[in-house]
Structure 1
Amino acid sequence: MGNLIFLSGQAAIDQIGGVVGPGDIDAQIDQAMANIERALNAVGSGVDRIFKITVYLTDMNNFESVIKMRERYFDKPWPADTTVGVSALALPELMVELDVIATRP
């Protein structure tokens, strides 16, 4: 597992602990992905090295935004993904949470 990176619980939380984009699924996805990118870069990896992503959505009506996320952040072939509908996340304002597995060069 030396070349694998596991990130869990990535949500729309900014660097000072505030929730970004309450009520805006796309803003929340963008913040969660920015957090993922920052964490992966810190260990010498990057978003392009993600091969598995799990998406937790509090409203499955927002699934279209997950499809758009794939197109914005990843190249084909897209990472394997699982989307799960959940009743709530850690904070009531959160609409999405991401877990990823990536490799390190």
Structure 2
Amino acid sequence: MTTRPQDARRITTDPDPFDPFNIALGYRLGDLVITSGQAAIDEQGEIVGAGDFDAQAEQTFANLRRVLAAAGSSLDKVVKVTIYLTDMTNFPKIVELRAKHFSRPWPADTIVEVRSLALPELMIEIEAMALVEGDVVE
């Protein structure tokens, strides 16, 4: 089977912590990567940092980095993120995390407070869109 530019390729890792939930980690469509929401779940499907926002945020960014790498991309090629928080008082920490994990030009961003995420212990989830080829420029 020949892959055409418009074909979407499912992003996989080994192990794939999302597979038991019947969810794809994301898809690569040409030079665009679209991820599912990443949260503080380790490679074995266990929650990291229950009750600790900082630990959960670091695991979430590590997971996002891992999925992007599996698709041939990286955090410096992210053009859009949507960040879901269960407590908007963590917003100042998000600003710091964005400065730590992203660089200029900053990705477009939507931050939403939600009542809960997929599992009750989760406090943050991030979904992203990123480039594979080319650079993000101002």
Matched residues in 1 for 2:98 and 2:37: separation? 18
Identity of aligned residues (%): 51
CA contact under 8 A between 1:25 and 1:65: conserved in structure 2? Answer: no
Partner residue of 1:33 out of 61, 66, 69: 61
Q: Does 1:43 align with 2:71?
A: yes
For 2:53, the aligned partner's letter is I
Letter in 1 for 2:101: Y
**Aligned length in residues:** 105
TM, length-normalised to structure 2: 0.73
Q: Which structure has greater helix proportion?
A: 1
Using structure 1 for the length normalisation, give the TM-score.
0.95
Q: Residues 1-105 of structure 1: matches in 2 within 5 Å?
A: 1-105=29-133
RMSD over equivalenced CA pairs, Å: 0.9
Which structure has the higher relative contact order (CA within 8 Å, separation 6+)?
Answer: 1
4+ aligned runs moved over 2 Å, structure 1: none
Structure 1 residue runs of 5 or longer lacking an equivalent are: none
Greater shift, 19-28 or 82-91, is seen at 19-28
Structure having the higher strand fraction is 1
